[in-house]
Chain A
Amino acid sequence: MLAILRDLLRYNVEFRIGVALVGFVVVLSALSAVSPYPPQDVYVVPPDVPPSLSYWLGTTSRGQDVFWQLTFAIRNTLLFGCTVALISRMLALMIGLLSGYKGGWIDRALMSVNDTFIVIPLLPILVLFYFVMRDSMSWLMLALIMACLGWAYDARLIRSVAMSLKTREFTQSSVFSGMSTREILVQEHLPYVMPIVFSTTMNNMIWSIGLEVTLAVLGFTDINTPTIGGMIYWANQHTAMVAGVWWWIAFPTAAVIMTFIGLFLLAVSMNEYIDPRSRLGRIGGVAT
């Protein structure tokens, strides 16, 4: 693992930049642990102060330090994105691999469910959930709902890879070596599926964070837990742009853009590395 990271750092510019960006954002979110102000508190500092030495990123109209708010916001947003990505990847993998390998009625049944989830319009459903659940809609709840909505596209991708792997002769060799279905899927097929899983993870994170920001800006989430979207929501509520408090919107936006670009670069560079064809090229085999 370390050797892989070392190789990537040494040879791949995109990876270096991606690591730098994401690393910066992660450090920022880790700083939330040492914040002098609890995140929910308001009017703890003078409001509307522009960026200066005492308040690095300025303060909000609600009397909060933008810098420390940002650490909490980016932490929550990242956690949110990771949770959604993790759960939905697991779902997509399980369903995609099983469906592709087994075929037959299992495949048909799972894909019918899959297609149903694909056609569901996301934003109206999420808004609906919010209105039904109101106060009990914590960010964890939202993460679970979005994970359940976000696995469908990628399950189909994984399924098509699984289907092509099934026809390759080494799958039959594994069967005749006495391996069970689960073992074949995990040990033989997973390495081929990993590049897709990885790039779709980054995609998924970007998608879920984007959607969360959208919902928060519109006010459809728990706006008391600070998130990037939440900060922008409050900024809009206090008409920050008109009032000239540009730093309240600018810095959260910059942070989330940095996160997106960093994640994208990581995905692209890691993908090239773990793609079986380039792996074979490295260990000396011929990638046909």
Chain B
Amino acid sequence: MSAALLEVSHVGKIFTRGGLFSSRRIVAVDDVSFQIDAARPEIFTVIGESGSGKTTLSRMILNIERPTSGALSVDGLDLTTVRTNAGRMAFMHKVQPIFQNPFEAFNPLKQLDRYLFMTRRRFHAEADQATIEVAVDEALRNVGLSLKEVRRRYPHELSGGQLQRVAIARALLSNPKLIVADEPVSMVDASLRMSIVNLFKALRDDLGLSIIYVTHDLATAYYISDRIIIMQKGKVVESGDARAVLNAPQHPYSRQLRAAVLLPGVAAAGGPVSQPANVFREFNASE
């Protein structure tokens, strides 16, 4: 079989709304194809506005929605064949999600460590508590936290940035090869955002994970992506190497997106803000 970690082949999704006598067809995703190589971990970004189909695409990759046309396969396994419990567990072993709202990622009434222990227990054979705790602690250290900080805590006790990191740690506990992150930093405070974004880079470089990063924010996409596709109304309008596409977009819609980014205007006024970055050199080094 092919060496593709993820193969998306002419995938489409049509929603029908309406009742018996009148129905509307909404084309959410239209003929999207791309591949992610198993041997080369990368951060693959999907850019789009609301209504572009990017969230529907990510849900199909996570097997939460079924495509109405085309095929999706992970590690050679066609997703439509994933039906049994065992099949679903095997799939989730390889692919894990990160969601947009860190405050909703966990049940507000339950403690956080419960999810971490459970993920570890369900996806690995050994059952004794000590090994599980070591593994959970290691996953948390990978994201810059520790089991001591998270033990017996409720979601409201942590900030958005910390919660998102716990969500990433949970996703890491099944030892996945692919993480699908849908707008993972849009609801995280600006001062905490970059540590999460840097974390994605570290996951790719140190742990060899591939990440599908779905976002509308061109700036963070520029910062970490390897390849990028831009979606509009369900279709892919431009794709290619991330830096190349974002520095010189070709399609009119891509150009519109690029022009709508607000920050370069200020950078042009005073040049890239280099001085403040130096003050925090010691911070950046410790990340």
Contact = CB atoms under 8 A, between A and B. Distances in A.
Contacts of B99: 169, 172-173
Q: How large is the interface on A (under 10, 10 to 19, 20 to 34, 35 or more residues)?
A: 20 to 34
Contacts of A279: 109
A170 interface: yes
Interface in B148-173: 154-157, 167, 170-171
Interface string B218-246: 00000000000000000000000000000
A176 B156 contact: no
Given A179-B118, A188-B110, A279-B109, A170 B123 contact: no
A272 B245 CA distance: 55
B92 A178 contact: yes
Contacts of B170: 173, 177
B245 to A, nearest CB: 30
Nearest to A171: B107
A182 to B, nearest CB: 12
B160 to A, nearest CB: 12
B89 A178 contact: yes
Q: How large is the interface on B (under 10, 10 to 19, 20 to 34, 35 or more residues)?
A: 20 to 34
Interface string A174-211: 11111110000001100110000000000000000000
B64 A276 contact: no
Given A170-B107, A188-B110, A177 B156 contact: no
A192 B109 CA distance: 9
Given A170-B104, A285-B108, A178 B154 contact: no
Nearest to A286: B156
Given A174-B115, A176-B171, A276 B157 contact: no
Of A172, A173, A187, A284, the most chain B CB neighbours within 10 A belong to: A173
Contact of A170 (B92, B100, B106, B157): B106
A173 B105 contact: yes
Of B64, B89, B107, B110, the most chain A CB neighbours within 10 A belong to: B107
A283 B154 contact: yes
A113 to B, nearest CB: 21
14 contacts: A168-B104, A169-B101, A170-B105, A173-B99, A173-B105, A173-B115, A174-B107, A174-B115, A176-B171, A177-B115, A178-B119, A191-B109, A276-B108, A285-B108
Interface of B: 64, 85, 89, 92, 96-97, 99-101, 104-110, 115, 118-119, 121-123, 154-157, 167, 170-171, 174
